[in-house]
Chain A
């Protein structure tokens, strides 16, 4: 099929059931274990019902890559996902602060940064989410909407606030 189309994982947080199958699929693919905190995608539940998957949005300007003093982060030209060079990463945490959504986090054992690598072009999280017919995650072709992808790079508390407002209206204010 020639050059593969670049993909992005479209997200619809309101459809997330909180089943966390995305975490399971991600960690089995990358770690061969079920490992919630070593998953590149993690479902937060700061308020019940407002579960959502938190993972890299591939910002157009890659603030994390730019911030890395060791040059450990780069962009995979094939997928445009961020790659982590585990040899170079010192776990200084500068990329975490550079990310508008504080999405990168440490691998609990290797102590190197974890960032979604789009499973080299066929994301496992979106696959299981589709199989589950939840539709919270969907692999889409990367189109001209690239600049808006970065708006998904938001902190867990920020996303939660929006979802809680949508689900529970004014009542939700009491639970934030």
Chain B
């Protein structure tokens, strides 16, 4: 008996409409845990051989939605979404909050493996062990809020039909996509609860490519048995008590960063990262709170922190737009990054991105990119179907976003994400436009700049990450460092909420693992073998890449050009990333994770981690000699 696990995964082939079960040995689970780690294992085993040729939007891509042993126990419920990423062409573990993972585990499954492609728009329901593929033609094209409304209603009726004797059952949990996912944009998220998104990776588009509008799950059973329930309960209390004291997130959410990261640490994207400093007090959290919040504490399963707050303007042009907070990333990317400094405008844009099913970071990045080209008169309104994206014009950005979500006109190019769009547009304009893109390996960089050196990020955070621009998965040395990618892999494999790890000692996380699974997994083992092994798998898949783009570590393990321009304003004016320093740190990082000076996993690293098949494949593909 593996404590904390149901012991099986549900595999659904949408082409054949067959559902089967898959399971893993205790040894595999011990090594890969769940979530992101297990996703790396499954993807490598299934697609590794042919990785470069697998089109992320083809039926052969495998979409994974995985829980971990800590899902449901460690406060704050999350699941990890993965597959071959249409952004990086590698594999990204993208987590999203909510009760989906709880319902899945209560239904008896640790996760979902989804392959193939449905013949027509469909949604899947997993009610206990009853799996159905249902018609979604009537929901296809609908925005997020309407989608969830219809799904909740239909799900409740289906549950009543399946379990008539139960009385009222709670609504099923849902993961769904908006129009941006349906139309296979590379910047679409897998959504939950209106505002929650597995954003990084582009898995909304992967769902869209499978004609899969949504998945509903409902379980009636308990969460799996744990090794020591009393200890788990004590730990839950202990952790919650610590988080209650973290007034910053509990009270203001990540929106508390809105003024801090711009004004104090000077690391917020402003007008497509042309600046990283402002002193607009309108973007301090108090004005969002006082003017817009209708719910101040909003959390997912078991969460003591509730960093989510619901905002809705009650007056003005954007009356009735609903979103959460917006959280710091949305505030930044759909605020100052677009020259928007009015809270209501930012709420409108954030709400629109939710409705269209975008990752707000990726979408805000591409909108900022196009606005800079407009500012520099590289493109004009003729190129943009008449839209004029002047800094601060929220309406214009909204209109562009709608075109992107539906791949209409210029939207079809921008739907590729900023890096690919820059290549396409550059061909037309006969100019290298990639210099204006702030991305890392096709993934837009999170709203924490590195130039001031005052944020938590460092010179190598993004350049060396196996998830590219993902600000929740940064590279850092030593590998035991709080901001090290091995810790992100741990959280995303657990699957636990990173924001509920900030106020607790790392020991507590390991204690949780032990109380739930009964495994006395030494911390050392994680940093030296298990965590490192997952990192190598992700690195291998990233280096293999394809089919449309491949990354060369010597060139592509680098910061975007903008991060080498001096900051033009603020207390750190003139400061920038020093290339020589960066190269030294990169070399040091390569060494710490077992890569050679060119950023390639060393054969001895791979052999030590029992990844001989990875070595063989990298040799076959001429990545290793």
Contact = CB atoms under 8 A, between A and B. Distances in A.
Interface stretch (A4-12, A40-48, A75-83): A40-48
A91 to B, nearest CB: 6
A157 to B, nearest CB: 9
B165 A106 contact: yes
B298 A96 contact: no
B615 to A, nearest CB: 42
B410 to A, nearest CB: 30
Contacts of A175: 145, 149
Interface in A11-31: 15, 17-21, 24, 27-28, 31
A48 B195 contact: yes
Contacts of B314: 169
Contact of B168 (A28, A34, A54): A54
B415 interface: no
B39 interface: no
A43 B170 contact: yes
Given A34-B222, A35-B221, A168-B322, A156 B301 contact: no
Interface string B293-336: 01101111111101000101010000110100000000000000
Interface string A132-159: 1110000000000000000000011000
B229 interface: yes
Given A36-B102, A105-B166, A132 B223 contact: no
A43 B303 CA distance: 14
A133 B244 contact: yes
Nearest to A37: B220
A33 B222 contact: yes
B194 A31 contact: no
Contacts of B295: 49, 167
B386 interface: no
A34 B167 contact: no
Interface centre among A27, A104, A167 (most CB of B within 10 A): A167
Contacts of B165: 91, 93, 106, 111
Interface string A69-104: 000000000000000000000010100100000111
Interface centre among B99, B221, B222 (most CB of A within 10 A): B222
B302 A38 contact: no
Interface string B168-194: 111100000000000000000000011
A18 B223 CA distance: 18
A175 B145 CA distance: 7
A109 B222 CA distance: 10
Contact of B167 (A96, A134, A169): A96
Contacts of A34: 72-73, 222-223
A174 interface: yes
Contacts of B167: 93, 96, 102, 104-106
Nearest to B105: A34
Contact of B240 (A31, A37, A49, A132): A132
A49 B322 CA distance: 10
Contacts of A155: 168
Contacts of A174: 145-146, 149
B240 to A, nearest CB: 7
A156 B229 CA distance: 31
B302 A27 contact: no
A35 to B, nearest CB: 4
A20 B170 CA distance: 12
A171 B149 contact: no
B54 interface: no
Contacts of B106: 35-37
Contacts of B225: 33
Interface centre among A48, A108, A155, A169 (most CB of B within 10 A): A48
A171 B312 contact: yes
B233 interface: yes
Contacts of A171: 312, 319-320, 322
A131 interface: yes
B229 A33 contact: yes
Interface in A39-66: 42-49, 54
Contacts of B221: 35, 37, 108-109
B168 A167 contact: no
Contacts of B233: 28
A44 B304 CA distance: 18
Contacts of B240: 21, 131-132
Nearest to A38: B222
Interface centre among A20, A28, A103, A109 (most CB of B within 10 A): A20
Interface of A: 15, 17-21, 24, 27-28, 31-38, 42-49, 54, 91, 93, 96, 102-106, 108-109, 111, 131-134, 155-156, 167-171, 174-176
21 contacts: A17-B297, A18-B298, A20-B99, A20-B301, A20-B302, A24-B302, A33-B229, A34-B73, A35-B221, A35-B223, A37-B220, A44-B171, A47-B152, A49-B294, A49-B322, A96-B167, A102-B168, A105-B166, A105-B169, A111-B165, A174-B146
Given A45-B170, A96-B168, A133-B244, 8 more contacts: A20-B302, A32-B229, A33-B225, A105-B166, A156-B168, A167-B295, A169-B314, A170-B320
